Each structure stands twice: as structure tokens, then as C-alpha cells.
Amino acid sequence: MHPSSQPSVLAVLLLGLSLLAACARWAYRPYAYSRHCAAVEARIDRDRDKIDQIEPTGSDRDALRWYREDLADAGDDLDNCRYGS
């Protein structure tokens, strides 16, 4: 390699590394580990568990409706938590 080509190789290498770092930051956003998002995910799990318990018995349709509505609301809350309003 000629000495004059070394700066351009270095510039390309630095650009590549900076793009890689930017992609890594984008892929692993802090929202995935935030407490608020984790609480919303736990709420979704609880709602799904309750729906699975109530649905087969056919009893307590009001509770079943409430859990289904809350599950939909929790999905919206999770989107807001992850991506903002």
C-alpha cells in the first residue's frame, strides 16, 4: 500500500466503525430494559394468564371483557413506552 492511501483506508475504517456503533445503539435501545416497560409487559402477561383461566370456564364474562380490554390498552401503553407518544 502506498503511504498516500493509508489516510483514506483509515477514514473508511473509522466511518464503518461509527456506523456499526450507531446500529448497535439503535438495536439495543434502553427501553427494552426500562422498569416502566417491564411493568407493562408484566401487566400483559397477567392479563393473558387471567384470560386463559376464565375463558375455558365461560364464567364471569364481565371480568373476561375487562381483561381483554386491559390487554388491548396495555399493548398501546407498551407501544407508547417503547416509541413515545
pLDDT at 44 over 80: yes
Question: Which residue shows C-alpha cell 364464567?
Answer: 59
Q: Lowest-confidence range among 30-34, 47-51, 79-83?
A: 30-34
Q: What is the pTM of this model?
A: 0.59
Tell me the average pLDDT across 64-78.
96
Tell me the average pLDDT across 59-74.
95
Domain ranges for the chain: 1-29, 34-85
Q: What is the pLDDT of residue 18?
A: 63
For 83, the grid coordinates are 416509541
Q: What is the pLDDT of residue 30?
A: 54
Taking the C-alpha atoms of residue 60 and residue 54, their distance in angstroms, rounded to an integer, is 7
